[in-house]
Structure 1
Amino acid sequence: MEFTRSRRLRTSGRRLVGWGLAVAAGAVVWAVAADGPARASANGVAVMAGLAVLNGIWTLRRARRPFTLRIDEHGIAVNEDALGWEQIDGVALRYSPMSQVDTDDHTNTPPPPRLFVYPADGAGLPGLREAAMYGRRAYDVVATGELDQGLDRLIETLTRHAGPRFEASPHGMRRAGAPEDAAVREAVGGRFADTPGVRGAVLPPGLPARTFEARRNTAARLLAALALAAVGAVLSTPLITGGPDLAPEPFSALAPLGAILGCFLSLWYLWLVLRPLRLRLGPDGLTARNFAGPLVELGWDQVVAVTVARKPGAVDKHLWLLVWLAPGHTLDLPHEIADGHRTYPLVEVRRLRDGGEVEAAARYFAGSRYVEPAP
């Protein structure tokens, strides 16, 4: 499969030049007709439009440079330089920290990843500049957003030909082997699959899934909030009717505030009761929902790696259930970037009842997909 980028670069360059020239012309007319602060603003717009035109010209020049990326059963070739699969330690689609998009802001579009190739010792691609990525030699091949054939086709091709060399989780993590417990090893027959896309543990039929619920009783808090709202409303009645106070002066004065606070808390706890914190781990996959968050359902074929560890870059030491998805899959959830890969923290373990058993359950049901946290 061959990938090119000239068509998208030409389209992008022409768009930048065209719109830049149009805006620059409008800014010049504005500057001639205006004076004072308005003229300064027009000059600023003209400068920005000029920069866009220069960027478009640079993009058009890049489009004229020859670029062909070929990925097949033999290896990866960039223009005239090629590496066989035996000369490649890994291939990865790396995201920049700018791709961490908060789900509260749906207007942002995460930038596409860049394709990196990690060569084996003694191998190289002379036509590309070599860089060091977390102690590994790497070649930054191309920004996938520039490819004419699109990111989905690239992922499909890499999945078919790169196999286990196609990395979708941080390289420093070590995959778990068979469970340490002898009884568990006997139950699963000691058979684990290391090939991506295959369910990790060959589990016996009928093995029940494990469900973890919130450690705190939200329903009890809802009842307490409703009681506070009701008491506050009753004690606030004399302020409306002009009748005698039903409670001592300080309580009567604070009653409206208690009623408002109780109503607010009641709505919040009702929302939490309707969308409770929950985690389910089973032979078919996992289901998770954080407090008042969306329900996440993942089959093991969608998961590349899972672990119980601290969030990447977090200061606190609280443990989370972290997952890395197979290439081509994504979640509309907040995520972190670890070694260029999207890391999804699903549930904070300490908030779950019997949270100390989450790691054992994840290790068992995920099988070889469970990875040890990087040191």
Structure 2
Amino acid sequence: MHVLRNARVYAPDDLGCQDILIGGGVILAIAPDIQTPKNLPITETDCRQAIVCPGFVDTLTHITGGGGEGGFATRTPEMQVSDAVKGGVTTVTGALGTDAVCRTHQELVAKVKALRDEGLSAYFYTGNYHYPVKTLTGSVQQDIMLIDECIGIGEIAIADHRGSQMSWRELARVAADARVGGLCSGKAGIVSVHVGDGDDRLSTLFDVAEHSNIPLSQFYPTHINRSPALLNDAVRFAALGGSFDLTASSTPEILASGELKCAQAFKLALEQGVSDEQITFSTDGHASLPHFNSDGVLESLKVGSMTSLLDEVRDAVLIEQLPLSQVLKAVTANPARILKLDSKGRIAENADADLLVLNPDDLTLQSVMAGGQWFMQDGNLTKVGTFE
């Protein structure tokens, strides 16, 4: 058992100075000056008015690595536990991307189970960029219903030369399978949609909404900060009831080509009337970050970083001057709600004890707790992966 004392709690709403009692991997109580029995072995930590917030929920991480757009030598490395911890990420959602030949669902599920054994919370999407959809059981519905860790499908690609150029009918059928699988298993059944830089942007999703009975809330498009035009489409998407995701990882080359920084896009979307309940950030960690020229030729390639999430949270608060409680929603409560992970993304009684301690002056990461275990204390890693 643990007690965190004198914490400035952002749940993500600002609850002021509180103590937090933790036991069995969950939050047992939140109150000023919690009194504990003297005959129980309870570890106490004085937070000294540091900020304590929920661990970040990353809705898109290529936990087994990604890439390959530049050939086999450009396949990116898989995620390690410390990669997540250094970025304040305590919950990850793994996905396949461009490559579903050398990157497999069997490998993805094994990595999810390994991360869980090592103390993080981990889930995955079935499928990848392409259609027809590759799955483990032969069915999107069966994957979602019968595999505990599977919570949806993705990243399925639209508006991208690397995708399968799906029609709205094909995407609607995929979404219907995911929706029914989610309904029958109590899961989100979400459709994570990779949006490329094609001029069609979100038109396929709008066509689904116009011509089918699938609500836009079933879709969860990501990489929305790819361009101002795409962000404008996303504002319309949100007005019709959808939520969307901004990508924290980027490169100078990609930003120079017109991509918006995640923090900047967040502020612009809010200014255009999007609710702060409808926007999330994700890392795209360990994905390849390719830059293609106008002819579709690869010019550069770098790797997505899981520390990018905390970087963009910090920039949104310190540079864009947005309230911390509002920014934290985008990496805690909002993604947890969209993925239907009810015990994640909040500091409340019976919620999982996934907590970050941040320096109140510059929001640097001091400590990380996942499932009631310390993975970082006072800036030092105290628990890492098996082979780190």
Alignment TM-score, normalising by the size of structure 2: 0.21
* Largest Rg, 1 or 2: 1
User: Greater share of helix residues, 1 or 2?
Assistant: 1
Determine which structure has greater relative contact order: mean sequence separation of CA pairs < 8 Å that are 6+ residues apart, divided by chain length. 2
